[in-house]
Amino acid sequence: MPRCARSSCGRWSPWFRRRDAGITIDGRWFCSIGCVEGVARRRLLDARPSATGLPPAGQIRLGVWLRHQDGLSEQQVEQVLEAQRHSGLRFGAQVTTLGWASREAVLRALARQAGVGYLAELDASNVTHAPAGLSPHAARALSLVPFCEPERGRVKVACAAPLPRMGLAAFRRLTGMTPEPYFVTDDTWDTLVTAYGSALEGPTSSRFIETSDLSEAAATIAAAAAGGSGANARLTEARFEPYTWVRVENDGITHDVLLASGGAGACQVLSTSH
């Protein structure tokens, strides 16, 4: 006979309820929504960053790549560093501002440095139907935009430099798919993240909630797990600064609950179509 899986509860199921009562998460039975909330709170607090599964960051500096690849002189590199001190621009942006390398050359060097691919151009029409089915808010929070439908468990994603390692790790953990990152320019990134999912209409099968309130996050997770048939919800969590993310899959609906630590206390509730 099942017993409530919350250790501080431990109620036996048949003594006080019908057989179909209670909530099942990942095959474990809970007697009440209150117990699920307690467990959700614990999982939010205990979530740890997952291994990124990506090659370590390149040790070679961007300037070295640009010298090697685009013939930037040592003297020019020095001047870039000097100009940066006043402008506050990043190295790559400073090089293009000075006109010593094209934006594509900088993008290519950044990609080599990070050990990833790059795309000089990527049309926003690739992402308006939200390939890989993320909520647009989720894509923005993860700092990555899937731009192809997944194939054999892998999915190509666009991102801006520097590589969003934690977002990529969280994506892998939450979706079970391996992201293949490609760098795009900051402008392309802005266009893509705005366009992602913009063509979708119709019934909602994906919900996204962002909050900085732990109790609210736990209550939302519990409500999502208890909704629908309550037959068996799946719960996955991932931690990536400054977020803890819990995905609840229940009755064909995906609920993404994003808990922001140290946030402004504001809460947004957003729904998206899929």
Residues that bind Zn ion (CB under 5 A): 4, 6, 9, 11, 31, 35
CB closer to Zn ion out of 32 and 52? 32
Burial 219-242 (b: 16+ CB within 10 A, else e): bbbbbbbbeeebebbebbbbbbee
In the three-class reduction of DSSP (H, G, I as helix; E, B as strand; rest coil), residue 191 is classed as helix
CB closer to Zn ion out of 30 and 182? 30
Q: Please report how close the Cβ of residue 32 comes to Zn ion at its closest, in angstroms.
A: 5
Instruction: Return d(Cα 187, Cα 60) in angstroms, integer.
Output: 25
Q: Please report how close the Cβ of residue 29 comes to Zn ion at its closest, in angstroms.
A: 9
CB closer to Zn ion out of 21 and 266? 21
Q: Please report how close the Cβ of residue 211 comes to Zn ion at its closest, in angstroms.
A: 24
147: its two tokens: 């731009």
φ/ψ of residue 199, rounded to 5: -90, 0
Instruction: Return d(Cα 156, Cα 126) in angstroms, integer.
Output: 11
Q: Please report how close the Cβ of residue 220 comes to Zn ion at its closest, in angstroms.
A: 19
Residue 15 exposed, middle or buried by CB count within 10 Å (0-12, 13-18, 19+): exposed
Q: Please report how close the Cβ of residue 31 comes to Zn ion at its closest, in angstroms.
A: 3
Instruction: Return d(Cα 146, Cα 155) in angstroms, integer.
Output: 7
CB closer to Zn ion out of 34 and 176? 34
Beta pairing class for 268-272 and 206-211: antiparallel
Q: Please report how close the Cβ of residue 27 comes to Zn ion at its closest, in angstroms.
A: 16
Q: Please report how close the Cβ of residue 224 comes to Zn ion at its closest, in angstroms.
A: 18
Q: Which residues pair with 30 in a beta bridge?
A: 23
CB closer to Zn ion out of 31 and 217? 31
CB closer to Zn ion out of 4 and 101? 4
CA angle, corner 17, sides to 14 and 19, nearest 5?
A: 65
Q: Is the peptide bond before 164 cis (omega within 30 degrees of 0)?
A: no
CB closer to Zn ion out of 25 and 31? 31
What are the Cα distances from residue 72, in Å, to 45, 89, 98, 207, 269?
48, 18, 12, 48, 49
